[in-house]
Amino acid sequence: MGDATPISSSAPVFDDEGRLARALQIPSPNYDARPAGSPVSLLVIHSISLPPGEFGGPAVIDFFLNRLDHAAHPYFEQIRDLQVSSHFFIRRSGELIQFVPCLQRAWHAGRSTWKGRQRCNDFSIGVELEGTDDSTFSGSQYAQLAQLTRELRRAHPIRDIVGHSDIAPGRKTDPGSGFDWGRYRSMI
């Protein structure tokens, strides 16, 4: 896919349920309704690869769709009982996949707290980058994430952008040291 193409600021980007027109839609069953009165104010950046450290295969998608073959890799047994999702997944190539409409609550943050508010899934959008805590991310991923961030900020009152490690310290470490916050912030 390469670097993301800038969009017109007047273009309708999301439908009335929060699906991004330009993203590949692969609906996950792992979501539910946001609580009433919980506007999206937080963007959470994650990293994921399945099996750990391997990129490009179908395992992350299968995991978010509850169809992961647990016999395919020893690590998959450790995550057998998890039902998780994210709103978006950005592959190393920059390909953008949406699993959950933005107006719904994806199950990406788990036990989490931000600025005294618990249950960050209630008021956040989760974006998974294909990678590991210590891998660097591709230019295509940064370009796609920056464009997506701008689109999300136009559609939602997002005040804060954090890593998973910021809302679940001691429990989560992603997106990790390989994520260049300075580069990302300069792009948005």
Domain map of the chain by residue range?
24-187
User: Which two three-digit tokens encode residue 2?
Assistant: 């390469």
Q: Give CA–CA dist 152/22, Å, rounded.
A: 13
Q: What is the mean pLDDT of residues 10-15?
A: 77
Which residue in 153, 133, 152, 161 sits closest to 47, CA to CA?
133
Would the pLDDT of 9 be above 60?
A: no
Q: What is the mean pLDDT of residues 93-110?
A: 98
Q: Is the pLDDT of residue 7 over 50?
A: no
Give the per-residue pLDDT at 153. Answer: 97
**Residue 10 to residue 54: CA distance in whole angstroms:** 38
Which pLDDT tens digit goes with each residue over 118-150? 999 999 999 999 999 999 999 999 999 999 999
Enter the CATH code of domain 24-187. Answer: 3.40.80.10
pLDDT attached to residue 5 = 43
Residue-wise pLDDT tens digits, 62-85: 999 999 999 999 999 999 999 999
Answer yes or no: is pLDDT of 6 > 80: no
Task: Say if residue 10's pLDDT is above 80.
Answer: no
Catalytic residue, from 17, 54, 128, 130: name it.
Answer: 128
Q: pLDDT tens across 31-65, in order?
A: 999 999 999 999 999 999 999 999 999 999 999 99
Please name which of 39, 75, 67 lies closest in space to residue 152, comparing C-alpha atoms: 39
**Of 188, 165, 75, nearest to 112 (Cα)?**
165
In Å, what is the CA distance from 180 to each residue of 19, 39, 45, 107, 147? 27, 28, 12, 25, 16
Which tens digits make up the pLDDT trace of 90-99? 999 999 999 9
128 tagged catalytic: yes
Count how many Cα atoms sit within 13 Å of the Cα of residue 115 in the half-sphere of its side chain: 8
pLDDT band at 88; cut points 50, 70, 90: very high
**Phi first, then psi: what are they for 101, rounded to 5°?**
-60, 145
Confidence of residue 8 (pLDDT cuts 50, 70, 90): very low
Q: What is the pLDDT of residue 12?
A: 65
pLDDT band at 4 (very low <50, low <70, confident <90, very high): very low
Provide the pLDDT confidence category of residue 11 given band limits of 50, 70 and 90. low
